[in-house]
Structures are given as C-alpha cells and as structure tokens.
C-alpha cells in the first residue's frame, strides 16, 4: 500500500509528534511575506471531494501551493460522478494523470482505505463517513498544544453528535495516545455505549454539566443531520439541553478553551457569545489547518 495518511488509529505517538512539530515550523512561515517554498515543486495534488467542505478543501489547496506544488480540486457535483462513473473508475482516471497524491473526502467509511489497496497513488483521508478525519485531529492537537503546552493530563470534553462524528473518533484516537482524560457527551441516541471501548481514558455522559466540570478543553460538534435517518430533534430543544452557553464556562477550568471543527451552527451547538468569546479558538483551528496540512503533504509527497 503506498504511504498516504488514512487515519490516526494506526499511527505511533512519535509519528504524530513529528507531524505536530513540523506544523509548528510552518505556523511561522504563514506570517512571512514570501509564503511559497519550492519543497514540492513539480508535484501535483488532486483534491477529490464527494462531500461538502469549506475549511478542509481550501486549506489542503493553500497548503499544497505554499509548498510549491500544483493543486487541482474536484467536487463530485461538478465531475463525471454525476454521469454515473463509479468511485474506482473516477480514481483510476485521476490516477492515470499521475498525481503525487490524492486527498479525498467520501461519505462511505473506509472508502479511502479500499482505494489505497488498489491504487499506486498515496491517498490522504480528508474525512470518510463516520470513521476518521485525521488532519482535523492533528490540527486540533496543534491548537491545544499552542494554548496549553501539553496534552498529558488534560481533561477534554467532546460534546454533540458523537455517533456520526469522524472528528470525534480521530480526536479520541489521537488524544488517548497522549494520556488525555476524554469525556464524550451527547443525548443517549447520539452516544452509543461502545464508544467507551474506542480507546483507553474515555468515559461517556449524557449530562453536559458533568462533561464540562473541570474541563481544560470543550470541543463542540455539529449535529450531522445528513447522516441521521431517524427524526431529528428540534434545534431549540437540542440547544436547551446540549448547547454551550456562557454560564457553562464557570464550570470549566478558568483557562478552558472552546473548540469546534466547523461549520458552526450558532444557536444550535453553541451561543454566539461563546463562539465569539476570548475562550474560543475556532479560528485558530482553521489557521492551524493550513500548517498541519503542509506537514502532512510534505511527509507524504516530499
């Protein structure tokens, strides 16, 4: 199998540390006037997105360009996928143009793993169904480290639609390798008990106040309506029980930070006062998305 990045679960702690350290080097590059290096000059990165994306797709594209590579983005809705082409045929077609790597997002869990077995091109997973979103976990870890200096011993509450969240799964895999105390919280219908077995150090609760008490990091997740087949509960009711509001912040540690992978839905997962507060690092996460994806592209393609 060509070396791409399919998930966090199979990575060693040292590999994660190396990527996070390299992302730190790239943070400062972003603030320099000459933003392009030619580390990946002559390389071609194809971004193939079968699901909507703003942050992930744009930041992979910017990351590739800052390293001097060429980047082409394709969305399923604007491609021959709408003419009935299968995933394998689309990937073989793109592979025949000899890209250096394919960055791919798909609604089916395991789609990039399947393709990685059949294609010679390295594949970077940009989110597969409800399974993994490895670069999101890396940028989340980078953001926590920037604020707290360490992951070891922190208490991280992940709150929302855990059942359908690839972000939660990748974050749990990453954080558990660093001795983080992880609390997963959401309504019982979105919090399957088997998630407690995902990794060491994970506990579950349906109480948002219990999850937030003494938390160093509060990570809110979007309710993934596109993956839910059962009737959704009304937005107002969800916010009443699971929405993060300013008064919740008194329960957390004084320096606690609020994170969200985006896109945020104000008044559903969190209030505007929290989203725009000093505790919110949501835009720092976006900024780190570029640095982390530069580190990943350099490792995979460089």
Residues that bind ligand NCD (CB under 6 A): 55-56, 127, 133, 136, 166-167, 222, 224, 261-262
Q: What is the C-alpha to C-alpha distance for residues 191 and 22, in angstroms, rounded to an integer?
A: 34
Cβ-based nearer residue to ligand NCD, 167 or 274? 167
Least Å distance, CB 127 to ligand NCD, is 5
Q: With contact defined as beta carbons under 8 Å apart, do 259 and 143 qualify?
A: yes
The owner of tokens 């997002």 is 105
Give the side-chain half-sphere CA count within 13 A for 299.
Answer: 22
Least Å distance, CB 37 to ligand NCD, is 25
Least Å distance, CB 56 to ligand NCD, is 4
Closest CA to 73 of 45, 101, 40, 112: 45
Least Å distance, CB 166 to ligand NCD, is 5
3-state secondary structure of 160: coil
Cβ-based nearer residue to ligand NCD, 43 or 47? 47
Closest CA to 151 of 138, 135, 160: 138
Cβ-based nearer residue to ligand NCD, 167 or 219? 167
Helix axes 282-301, 13-29, angle to 10 degrees: 110
Cβ-based nearer residue to ligand NCD, 7 or 127? 127
Least Å distance, CB 32 to ligand NCD, is 26
Least Å distance, CB 82 to ligand NCD, is 21
Cβ-based nearer residue to ligand NCD, 4 or 289? 289
Cβ-based nearer residue to ligand NCD, 37 or 73? 73
Cβ-based nearer residue to ligand NCD, 85 or 287? 287
Report the residue closest to ligand NCD, judged by CB. 222
- Give the tokens for residue 96: 């025949």
Cβ-based nearer residue to ligand NCD, 43 or 63? 63
Q: What is the C-alpha to C-alpha distance for residues 228 and 107, in angstroms, rounded to an integer?
A: 12
Least Å distance, CB 223 to ligand NCD, is 8
Other CB atoms within a 10 A radius of the CB of residue 176 amount to 18
3-state secondary structure of 292: helix
Q: What is the C-alpha to C-alpha distance for residues 205 and 211, in angstroms, rounded to an integer?
A: 7
Least Å distance, CB 97 to ligand NCD, is 26
297: exposed, middle or buried (Cβ count in 10 Å: 0-12, 13-18, 19+):
buried
Q: What is the C-alpha to C-alpha distance for residues 57 and 113, in angstroms, rounded to an integer?
A: 19
Q: What is the C-alpha to C-alpha distance for residues 3 and 154, in angstroms, rounded to an integer?
A: 32
């Amino acid at each position: 199998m060509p070396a791409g990045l399919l998930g966090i679960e199979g990575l060693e702690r040292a590999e994660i540390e190396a990527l996070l350290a390299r992302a730190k080097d790239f943070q400062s590059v972003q603030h320099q006037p000459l933003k392009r290096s030619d580390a990946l000059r002559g390389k071609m990165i194809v971004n193939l997105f079968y699901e909507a994306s703003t942050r992930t797709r744009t930041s992979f594209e910017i990351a590739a360009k800052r390293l001097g590579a060429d980047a082409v983005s394709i969305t399923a809705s604007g491609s021959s996928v709408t003419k009935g082409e299968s995933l394998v045929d689309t990937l073989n077609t793109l592979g025949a143009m000899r890209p250096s790597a394919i960055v791919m997002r798909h609604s089916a869990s395991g789609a990039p793993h399947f393709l990685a077995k059949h294609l010679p091109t390295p594949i970077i997973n940009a989110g597969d169904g409800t399974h993994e979103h490895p670069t999101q976990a890396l940028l989340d870890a980078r953001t926590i480290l920037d604020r707290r200096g360490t992951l070891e011993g922190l208490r991280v509450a992940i709150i929302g639609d855990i059942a359908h969240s690839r972000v939660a799964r990748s974050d749990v895999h990453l954080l558990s390798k660093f001795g983080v105390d992880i609390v997963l919280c959401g309504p019982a219908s979105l919090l399957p008990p088997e998630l407690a077995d995902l990794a060491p150090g994970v506990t579950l609760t349906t109480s948002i106040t219990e999850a937030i008490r003494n938390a160093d990091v509060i990570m809110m997740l979007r309710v993934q309506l596109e993956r839910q087949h059962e009737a959704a509960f009304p937005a107002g009711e969800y916010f009443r029980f699971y929405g993060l509001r300013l008064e919740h912040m008194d329960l957390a540690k004084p320096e606690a930070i609020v994170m969200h992978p985006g896109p945020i839905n104000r008044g559903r997962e969190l209030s505007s006062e929290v989203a725009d507060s000093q505790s919110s690092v949501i835009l720092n996460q976006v900024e780190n998305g570029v640095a982390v994806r530069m580190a990943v592209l350099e490792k995979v393609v460089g």
